[in-house]
């Protein structure tokens, strides 16, 4: 289990990674810190941040900047997309996308070499839709944050 720059396989690193992979959602560093503390009470928040950063840099996990403030982490390093609820900000994986849903010709723009794209869907999750009753008539237009 050697990952590029990651030189030592510390107990803290292993715990952070294991717990992130175990968890179903996309936790923040602080959330992961709490989870990790259950197994390793003396682990520090700084260590959690450092390890998440290193793991992300090495492509072992992903760091997501979907909803404003805090970064969230995804134990799945493979390319996939997310759905974000505009009411409760929950983030889930977007399943069942056709894999060619973005057209090929969009690969070179304005003289850039396009190496990828970041795509997040914004929507209303089933829970929020039900709470709202009405059906979300007043939601903002497509593509707006």
Partner DNA sequence: CTCATTGCAAATGATTTGCAAGAAA
Partner DNA sequence: TTTCTTGCAAATCATTTGCAATGAG
Q: Nearest to residue 43, comparing CAs of 64, 25, 26, 29?
A: 29
- Three-state SS at 11: helix
Among a second copy, DNA, none, what binds residue 23 when CB lies within 5 to 8 Å by partner kind? none
Distance CA 64, CA 134 (A): 31
Angle among Cα 83, 85, 89 to the nearest 5 degrees reads: 110
Segment interacting with DNA (CB under 7 A) among 43-51, 88-96, 123-131, 133-141? 43-51
Binding site for DNA (CB under 7 A): 6-13, 28-30, 40, 42-47, 49-51, 53-54, 69-71
Binding site for a second copy (CB under 8 A): 56, 59, 62-65, 67-68, 71, 79-81, 83, 85-86, 92-98, 101-103, 105-106, 109-126, 129, 136, 139-145
């Amino acid at each position: 289990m050697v990952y590029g720059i990651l030189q030592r396989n510390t107990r803290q690193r292993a715990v952070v990674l294991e717990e992130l992979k175990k968890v179903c959602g996309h936790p923040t560093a602080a959330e992961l810190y709490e989870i990790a503390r259950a197994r390793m009470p003396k682990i520090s928040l700084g260590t959690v941040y450092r390890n998440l950063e290193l793991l992300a840099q090495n492509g072992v996990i992903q760091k997501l900047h979907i909803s404003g403030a805090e970064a969230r982490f995804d134990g799945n390093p493979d390319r996939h997309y997310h759905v974000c609820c505009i009411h409760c900000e929950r983030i889930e994986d977007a399943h069942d996308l056709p894999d060619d849903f973005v057209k090929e010709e969009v690969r070179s723009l304005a003289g850039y070499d396009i190496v990828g794209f970041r795509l997040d869907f914004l929507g209303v999750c089933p829970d929020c839709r039900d709470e709202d009753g009405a059906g979300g008539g007043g939601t903002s237009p497509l593509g707006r944050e």
